Structure 1
C-alpha cells in the first residue's frame, strides 16, 4: 500500500482531517466507528491475516528529524519473537528497537501480531521529506527483507548488494530520556542527531524572542545515550518535544 491513511497523507498530517484519528493508535478499530477506526478494523481483520509479514514504513513525522531505526514489538510467542527480531536485523538498519507495548497495543505492529502475522516497522526519514539517503536506505531495507523472506532471489530496487551492517539495539522507555519545552520559545540545538551524549551535557539553548532582555536558557540532558530525534522547527510551544536520547542495550 503506498499509503494506509490516505486522508491524512493527502493533508500532509499524522491525523486524518476526517475525524482527527491517528491510524497507528487506532487498532483494533471498530467496523461501525469513525473512518480511521473502520480502516484500522479492516486492516487488522481482513488484510493483515492474509499475510505472513507486515512491513510498515514510517517517516518520523513532520516536526522531528529521526535516526533511521527499525522496530518490532515484543511477541509472547518466543519463536515468532525470534523471527521478528531476525527480520528486523535483516533490514540492515543502523539502529533497532524492541518495543514492549503489550497485547492490546493500538499500533499496526500490535494489529499484525493479533492477526497472526509478524510485524516489522521503523523510521526511514523525517520532517515530511524524501532525500536521496532516506530513499536509498528504504529501498535497501525492502530488498533485504524480500530476499530474506524468499520473495525474490536478488535485490530488485537497488543496483548493489551492499552487505547489511549490524543493527545496534536501543531502548526508549522513560519520560526523562526526552527534553520538552515548557513555554513558547525558540530552540537552538548544541548537538547533532546520532551524537553520544552524557547526563548533564548541554543539549542546546532556549531563546525568548519576545523578551530580548533575557539571556538564552541552557538546556541539558537528564540522561546519557544517543541522540535519537530532534525538533526540526526552531519555534516551540509548551509540550513540544525538543530532543530524545535512546539508551544502547545489549542483545
Structure 2
C-alpha cells in the first residue's frame, strides 16, 4: 500500500521521513496521561507498509524485546515502503506486569473494539481504525502464557497459500496451523483483508535470547522477501525447514505435585517415552509421564508446582506430509 502522505492521528509523515506518534490511551487517576508510542519509518521509495506489534498481553515481555531490537538495530528503516512499529500495545499491562487491562479484559478478545466501549475495547478500536487500514502486512509477536514455554513458532490458519509462503520465509522451527480465535487481533485483521503472521515463543515475564534471535531473524527474512530490508543487514537462511504441525493436543497432569520435564522443548519423542515426572515433597510418590503418541514437544510447562488437570506439555499429533 503506497501512500504519498501517511496520516496517523493527524500527524502527516511524508516519504523519506520518520516520526513517533503517541496515542493517548487514557488518563490515570492521578491525571497523568498514558501514551502508546508508534514508531514510523518511511523510505523515499514506494513499497509495502508493514506493521510490527507486540505487547498485546502486558506480561509477554519477550515479544516486546524482539520489536525493541528491530528498532534499536535500525532494521525498521526500510529500503522501500514503510515500517510501523508498536512495541507495547497494552501499555497498562506492561506497566503493571499483568496480562490484562485494568478493566480485567484480555485485549486479544475484544477486537475490532468500539470507540465507546471498555478501555481495552477502545484500544482495539484505535488499532483497527488508525493503523490497520494503512498496512499491507502485519507481524505480531507473542509469548507463552503463565509458566508455559512455547517453542518458536508461527501460527497461521490452514489453506492460505500466501500466509504459508510467508511463514516458511520467516523460518521459525515450527509452523502451527491454528484457527483464528473470535475477537482476536488476528481474526479482525483477516476479516479486514490484512494478512498476519503471529509469532509465539518463550514464556511470560522472561527474555530468552534464542527466542528473541529467532524472532528478529525471522522479521529480517520477511522484510528481505518484500525487498524492504536495508542493505546494511543480511537475512540469514533458516537452519532447517520448518516442521508444520497440523494437529496437536495438550498432555495434562493426572496428579498434583512437584513437576519436572525430562525432555527439552523442540524434542521429537516416541510413544511411551518418559518425558517428565510428578513427585510429592515427602519422597513417597513418583509418577512418570509418558508420551501418548510420537510427535514433537513444542510447549513445556516450567512451573515446578502443578495441579491435577494442568496443561504440562503440548505435543503434535499430526504433521503436514
Counterpart position of 1:145: 222
1:34 to 95, 118, 138: 118
Which runs of 5 or more structure 1 residues have no equivalent in the other structure?
A: 76-80
Higher relative contact order (CA 8 A, sep 6+): 1
**Deviates most, 40-49 or 52-61:** 40-49
Do the aligned partners of 2:224 and 2:235 also contact (CA within 8 Å) in 1? no
State the Cα distance separating 1:155 from its structure 2 match.
6.0
Aligned residue for 1:130, secondary structure, equals coil
Aligned length: 235
Counterpart position of 1:163: 237
Counterpart position of 2:208: 131
Counterpart position of 2:304: 234
Aligned CA distance change for structure 1 residues 114 and 107 (closer, same or farther; 3 Å): same
State the Cα distance separating 1:46 from its structure 2 match.
3.3
Counterpart position of 2:56: none
Larger radius of gyration: 2
Equivalences for residues 161-240 of structure 1 within 5 A: 161-164=235-238, 165-173=240-248, 177-181=249-253, 184-209=256-281, 212=282, 214-240=284-310
Counterpart position of 2:98: 13
Alignment partners' CA distance in 2, 1:182 and 1:36: 36
Equivalences for residues 30-69 of structure 1 within 5 A: 30-69=114-153
Alignment partners' CA distance in 2, 1:124 and 1:155: 27
TM-score using structure 2 length: 0.66
Do the aligned partners of 2:246 and 2:320 also contact (CA within 8 Å) in 1? no
Alignment partners' CA distance in 1, 2:229 and 2:162: 19
Say yes or no: does 1:25 pair with 2:103: no
State the Cα distance separating 1:73 from its structure 2 match.
2.5
More strand by percentage:
2
RMSD: 2.3
TM-score using structure 1 length: 0.83
Do the aligned partners of 1:45 and 1:115 also contact (CA within 8 Å) in 2? no
State the Cα distance separating 1:226 from its structure 2 match.
0.4
State the Cα distance separating 1:163 from its structure 2 match.
1.5
1:81-106 deviation digits (Å, cap 9, x = unpaired): 211111111111111122233xx732
1:127-153 deviation digits (Å, cap 9, x = unpaired): 432233222212211111111122235
Alignment partners' CA distance in 2, 1:83 and 1:166: 17
State the Cα distance separating 1:67 from its structure 2 match.
0.9
